């Protein structure tokens, strides 16, 4: 049956569910020998190919200093895929993928290498039909961003001829503070237009993070209570059990707050707190997130409203763990935070007076990321106080990982002859409700880059506003003695517990 308005609504609905497949294109990775490339980017490219979401002639070019031939590069990708890909290895997919794999050897300041890269891209356009469409993925230390961007410009690699596109994908950290982020933005935008730039915040590629929007705006039952009249406070936790591994060079001097609060946690907060966007389109989403970040209020007393700390030796998963200052490559006098907790407010009508507590840390009790919206207690209780003494506050908990889902916590009568009310929870688990497994964040984000879909990528303003929030906190920590301490394998320093106790609250133990 066709509708009277011409379009067939059933067919339109089906069309929207068709897989989004990238058109002719290729990806160039700078920093291809790094950890991120091996563990995340190469496997994600393979998984996309395996799911049939890449075009037949898709090309992958690695650029690095190593003296490799194409075959050496192919072997590295092969091993990375075998070890880290999410989907099973299929020889026919692999054979097709390697047709478009090339390696360009050189350093970032080597003009000849960038000319060879240009030649490789032209060759791939002919051999693989990539149509001049290339994304350049900068998986390199921030200090190398300017030179790579300048080289892309100098060698005409950023130029889009009619009908083709060029895009830059930039990994975090995007700057070190507001000033350096502004400088970087200026350098990037001298060469690339805003719609050519994709800044990665891989948390936005996670299914559960996108589900924040579905939960809030596709349902009627949460939104009416999602405000200061009903919400007591919000806790956003990103806890990791791992230490810094082999990343001393990157981590020392950066610390937990710059590493993940400036980006992942503030993005989670923005998605949790923002108003409903007019549509799910990139501009509309960015506008709402930007409003929230712009309305963030820091604690008046940064000494009482923030905590920074370092892990000391302890036990984790039955094994002894060394303290941060004893980790290989760490300056023994380092003040770098491996744990950070911050209390923020949002100055708008919806959230006035509701604290948002953000915390993150390495070497905590276990790996878990969650957003807990904790509600006020019922204004009046007809029950005896003894009946409700074990009743906590209602909460909606979005479990980002590893046990993806949503929990709603509320009180229920304990079976028996007396009236006793205790907390129970109602759980939605992805694994039980859906048969599809969730794609890795990088699969989604790389596909979006190739499709030119920028919904899930933070804009310049968001990055800069996030630094504006963090800069005064970092400055305060710089000027105020040494970080607090917590033994590896615990839930953080007592100072963080005290911070919430002063407000009459406590951290969740996920
Ligand atoms: C990265 C941080 O952005 O996120 C790392 O630089 C952190 O320090 C990682 O370990 C965690 O990502 P995920 O997806 O495992 O939660």
Closest residue by Cα to atom 6, ligand 1, is: 259
Residue 292 lies in a domain: yes
Q: Are residues 166 and 225 in the same domain?
A: no
pLDDT for 332-364, tens place per residue? 999 999 999 999 999 999 999 999 999 999 999
- CATH number, domain with residue 310: 3.30.360.10
Q: Containing H/E element for 471?
A: helix 460-479
Residue 383 lies in a domain: yes
288-325 CB burial, b ≥16 within 10 A, e <16: bbbbbbebbebbeebeebbbbbbbbeeebeeeebbbbb
The ligand 1 atom nearest the CA atom of 238: 16
The ligand 1 atom nearest the CA atom of 247: 8
Cβ–ligand 1 contact at 240 (below 6 Å): yes
pLDDT for 449-488, tens place per residue? 999 999 999 999 999 999 999 999 999 999 988 999 999 9
Phi and psi at residue 484, to the nearest 5°: -65, 175
Cβ–ligand 1 contact at 327 (below 6 Å): no
Q: Are residues 293 and 238 in the same domain?
A: yes
Q: Are residues 352 and 249 in the same domain?
A: yes
Residues 106, 112, 118, 121: is their CA dihedral positive or negative? Answer: negative
Angle between the 111-128 and 145-154 helix axes, to the nearest 10 degrees? 60
Annotated binding-site residue? 444: no
Question: Whose CA is closest to 339, among 197, 485, 438?
Answer: 485
Residue 424 lies in a domain: yes
Q: Containing H/E element for 497?
A: helix 494-501
One pLDDT digit (tens) per residue for the chain, 510 residues: 334 444 444 444 445 567 789 999 999 999 999 999 999 999 999 999 999 999 999 999 999 999 999 999 999 999 999 999 999 999 999 999 999 999 999 999 999 999 999 999 999 999 999 999 999 999 998 889 999 999 999 999 999 988 999 999 999 889 999 999 999 999 999 999 999 999 999 999 999 999 999 999 999 999 999 999 999 999 999 999 999 988 888 899 999 999 999 999 999 999 999 999 999 999 999 999 999 999 999 999 999 999 999 999 999 988 999 999 999 999 999 999 999 999 999 999 999 999 999 999 999 999 999 999 999 999 998 998 888 888 999 999 999 999 999 999 999 999 999 999 999 999 999 989 998 888 999 999 999 999 999 999 999 999 999 999 999 999 999 998 899 999 999 999 999 999 999 999 999 988
Question: Whose CA is closest to 368, among 397, 338, 399?
Answer: 399
Annotated binding-site residue? 362: yes
Q: Are residues 222 and 165 in the same domain?
A: no
Q: Are residues 84 and 215 in the same domain?
A: no
Q: Are residues 64 and 165 in the same domain?
A: yes
The ligand 1 atom nearest the CA atom of 441: 14
Structural domain of 366 = 204-438+457-501
Radius of gyration from C-alpha coordinates of the chain: 25
DSSP letter at 263?
Answer: I
Annotated binding-site residue? 202: yes
Going from the Cα of 224 to the center of ligand 1, the distance in angstroms, rounded, reads: 33
Going from the Cα of 260 to the center of ligand 1, the distance in angstroms, rounded, reads: 7
Angle between the 266-273 and 207-217 helix axes, to the nearest 10 degrees? 20
Q: Are residues 322 and 404 in the same domain?
A: yes
Residue 451 lies in a domain: no
Residue 507 lies in a domain: no
Q: Are residues 218 and 164 in the same domain?
A: no
Strands (E), 366-504: 368-375, 395-401, 405-413, 421-429, 484-487
Looking at the annotation, which residues are catalytic? 264
Residue 392 lies in a domain: yes
Phi and psi at residue 291, to the nearest 5°: -60, -40
Cα(6)–Cα(68) distance, integer angstroms: 58
Residue in 39, 174, 176, 202 to alter for ligand 1 test, most ligand atoms within 8 A of Cβ: 202
Cα(47)–Cα(460) distance, integer angstroms: 30
Parallel, antiparallel, or unpaired for β 368-375 and 296-297? unpaired
357, 233 contact by CB (below 8 A): yes
Q: Are residues 488 and 354 in the same domain?
A: yes
What's the distance, Cα to Cα, between the start and end of the chain in Å? 51
Choose the final residue of a domain: 146, 171, 196: 171
- CATH number, domain with residue 110: 3.40.50.720
pTM across the whole model: 0.94
Q: Are residues 165 and 224 in the same domain?
A: no
Choose the final residue of a domain: 127, 156, 171: 171
Cα(93)–Cα(89) distance, integer angstroms: 8
Label residue 193 exposed, middle or buried (CB < 10 Å: 0-12, 13-18, 19+): exposed
Choose the final residue of a domain: 127, 154, 171: 171
Closest residue by Cα to atom 15, ligand 1, is: 240
DSSP letter at 440?
Answer: P
Q: Are residues 340 and 410 in the same domain?
A: yes
Q: Are residues 127 and 212 in the same domain?
A: no
Residue 76 lies in a domain: yes
Cβ–ligand 1 contact at 260 (below 6 Å): yes
Residue 4 lies in a domain: no
Going from the Cα of 338 to the center of ligand 1, the distance in angstroms, rounded, reads: 13
How many domains, the chain?
A: 2
């Amino acid at each position: 049956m066709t509708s009277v308005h011409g379009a067939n609504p059933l067919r339109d609905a089906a069309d929207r569910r068709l897989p989004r497949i990238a058109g002719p294109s290729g990806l160039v990775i700078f920093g291809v020998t790094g950890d991120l490339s091996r563990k995340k980017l190469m496997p994600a490219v393979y998984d996309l190919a395996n799911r049939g979401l890449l075009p037949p002639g898709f090309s992958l070019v690695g650029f690095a200093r190593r003296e490799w031939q194409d075959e050496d590069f192919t072997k590295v990708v092969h091993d990375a895929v075998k070890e880290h890909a999410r989907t099973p290895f299929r020889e026919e997919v692999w054979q097709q993928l390697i047709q478009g794999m090339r390696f360009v050897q050189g350093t970032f300041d080597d003009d000849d290498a960038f000319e060879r890269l240009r030649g490789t891209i032209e060759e791939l356009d002919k051999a693989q039909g990539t149509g001049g469409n290339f994304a350049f993925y900068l998986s390199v230390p921030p200090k190398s961003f300017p030179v790579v961007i300048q080289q892309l410009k100098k060698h005409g690699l950023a130029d889009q001829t009619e009908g083709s596109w060029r895009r830059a994908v930039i990994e975090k950290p995007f700057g070190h503070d507001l000033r350096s982020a502004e400088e970087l933005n200026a350098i990037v935008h001298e060469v690339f237009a805003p719609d050519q730039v994709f800044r990665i915040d891989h948390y936005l590629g996670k299914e559960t993070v996108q589900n924040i929007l579905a939960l809030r705006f596709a349902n009627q039952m949460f939104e009416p209570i999602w405000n200061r009249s009903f919400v007591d406070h919000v806790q956003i936790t990103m806890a990791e059990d791992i230490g810094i591994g082999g990343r001393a060079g990157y981590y020392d001097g950066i610390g937990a707050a710059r590493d993940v609060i400036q980006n992942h946690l503030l993005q989670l907060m923005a998605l949790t707190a923002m108003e409903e966007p007019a549509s799910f389109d990139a501009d509309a989403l960015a506008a709402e997130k930007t409003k929230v970040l712009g309305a963030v209020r820091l604690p008046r007393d940064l000494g009482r409203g923030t905590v920074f700390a370092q892990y000391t030796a302890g036990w984790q998963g039955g094994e002894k763990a060394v303290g941060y200052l004893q980790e290989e490559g760490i300056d023994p006098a380092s003040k770098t935070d491996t744990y950070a907790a911050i209390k923020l407010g949002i100055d708008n009508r919806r959230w006035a007076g509701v604290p948002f507590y953000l915390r993150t840390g390495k070497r905590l009790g276990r790996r878990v990321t969650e957003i807990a919206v904790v509600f006020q207690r019922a204004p009046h209780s007809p029950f005896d106080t003894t009946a409700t003494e074990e009743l906590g506050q209602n909460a909606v908990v979005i479990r980002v990982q590893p046990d993806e889902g949503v929990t709603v916590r509320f009180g229920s009568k304990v079976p028996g002859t007396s009236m006793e009310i205790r907390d129970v929870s109602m759980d939605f688990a992805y694994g039980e409700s859906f048969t599809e497994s969730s794609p890795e964040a990088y699969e989604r984000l790389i596909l979006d880059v190739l499709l030119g879909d920028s919904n899930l990528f933070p804009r310049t303003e968001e990055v800069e506003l996030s630094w504006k929030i963090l800069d005064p906190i970092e400055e305060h920590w710089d000027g105020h003695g040494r970080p607090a301490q917590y033994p590896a394998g615990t839930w953080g320093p007592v100072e963080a517990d005290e911070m919430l106790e002063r407000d009459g609250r406590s951290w969740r133990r996920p």
